[in-house]
Amino acid sequence: MVNFKVGVVFSREFSGNDPLGHIGVKLPVYLRLLELCRRQGWEVYVLTRKTYKGNGIFAGSWKFDNGRFRRAVEPVKIDLVYDRSAGVKFPPVNDASVIWVNRLDFKILAWDKWKAYRQIGKYMPKTFWVKKESDLVDILPKIKTEWVVLKPYNGLKGFGVFIGPKEKAAEFKFEKRYKYYIAQEFVDTSAGIANVTPGMHDLRVAIVNAKAVWSHVRVPEKGSFTANAAQGGILTEVDYSQVPESIKKIVGEITEKFFIGYDNPAYSLDFGIGKDGIPKIFEINDQIGFPKWEMKQRDVFLRELVYNFAKRLNDRKS
């Protein structure tokens, strides 16, 4: 039997004696994933991209076994990496020495909202590229909705976003840390989703192996339009059977496209349904937020990830 080495990689450097000390309340779910990987007979590691030397070799790592972590003294050559590092600086371009979940080209698609729009724009709100603030004078009149969304083309967690009337949008100042923005037509989700939520929302569907494995709805705090957890949004698990067929249809079309084009990535899609009843994709997320321990679909999600890893490893072996 091939003794595969599988690792979960993060951006930050290791500190102290706990490589997952930064995870917080979802730590038991991460440990569950590592244990499920161990049950496959694989050696399992927690990694940081800071110690990657190329050719699959990590100079610093922690090995997971029997529910505990042990710092690896020697460099380790990893066969498959589940990438939990944010941004697009990792993995290295054209590095085929490791099986990457997800590939860099898919991470770029999720990170670059303008690139995503050019690829799946028919499912998204009408979007315009904004190279500089002065361009808004010409772009805002092209937006048909009274309100507009301005956000960094590569932003995360809802930071640097403007949602409001077009006349106020004209005065919006780009945050200096973001070079370019996009402008989108506003989708008023205040009518909610039948049998799911009564008001404003952001419905996220997590997809692994080209199928929906769990879903949840995020609701913004009162007085806010941003549902991101980092901005105070409240998250509730949703039974996928309750998700509208109109969303499921889009999920089916997108999953087929991405499965073929990006080598079966693991990702999520954020949806909103406007008052016209038409669902729109707000974002693609290459970093799936893990379920909480008590959520019903936790193990369905984790086992699909492990199956994804196993299939890739076995395909590489053959």
Q: Where are the domains of the chain?
A: 5-102+306-317, 126-185, 188-285
CB-CB neighbours of 134 under 10 Å: 8
CATH superfamily of 188-285: ATP-grasp fold, B domain (3.30.470.20)
Instruction: Name the pTM for this structure.
Output: 0.94
Cα separation of 100 and 31, whole Å?
A: 20
pLDDT computed for residue 231 by the predictor? 54
Strands (E), 220-266: 234-238
Q: Find where tokens 């991460």 sit.
A: 30
pLDDT computed for residue 226 by the predictor? 63
Tens digit of pLDDT for each residue in 64-82?
Answer: 999 999 999 999 999 999 9
Nearest to 180 by CA among 128, 230, 142, 140: 128
Confidence of residue 120 (pLDDT cuts 50, 70, 90): very high
Q: Is the pLDDT of residue 228 over 90?
A: no
Alpha-carbon dihedral of residues 126, 128, 134, 140, nearest 10 degrees? -20
Q: Spelled out in words, what is the top-level CATH class assigned to the domain 126-185?
A: alpha beta
Cα separation of 230 and 233, whole Å?
A: 7
CB-CB neighbours of 174 under 10 Å: 17
Phi, psi angle pair for 68, to nearest 5° = -130, 160
Nearest to 214 by CA among 198, 196, 238, 244: 238
**Which CATH number is correct for 5-102+306-317, 3.40.50.20, 3.90.1300.10, 1.10.10.10, 3.90.1200.10?**
3.40.50.20
- 3-state DSSP assignment of residue 249: helix
Confidence of residue 224 (pLDDT cuts 50, 70, 90): low
pLDDT computed for residue 314 by the predictor? 94
CB-CB neighbours of 276 under 10 Å: 10
Q: Are 75 and 58 in contact (CB under 8 A)?
A: yes
Phi, psi angle pair for 229, to nearest 5° = -60, -35
Q: Is the pLDDT of residue 232 over 80?
A: no
Q: Are 106 and 100 in contact (CB under 8 A)?
A: no
CB-CB neighbours of 249 under 10 Å: 11
Cα separation of 101 and 264, whole Å?
A: 9
pLDDT computed for residue 291 by the predictor? 97
- 3-state DSSP assignment of residue 76: strand
- 3-state DSSP assignment of residue 305: helix
β-bridge pairing 181-185 and 52-54: unpaired
Confidence of residue 86 (pLDDT cuts 50, 70, 90): confident
Find the range with the poorest average confidence among 49-63, 156-170, 196-210, 297-311. Answer: 156-170
How confident is the model over 164-168, as a mean pLDDT? 95
CB-CB neighbours of 259 under 10 Å: 15
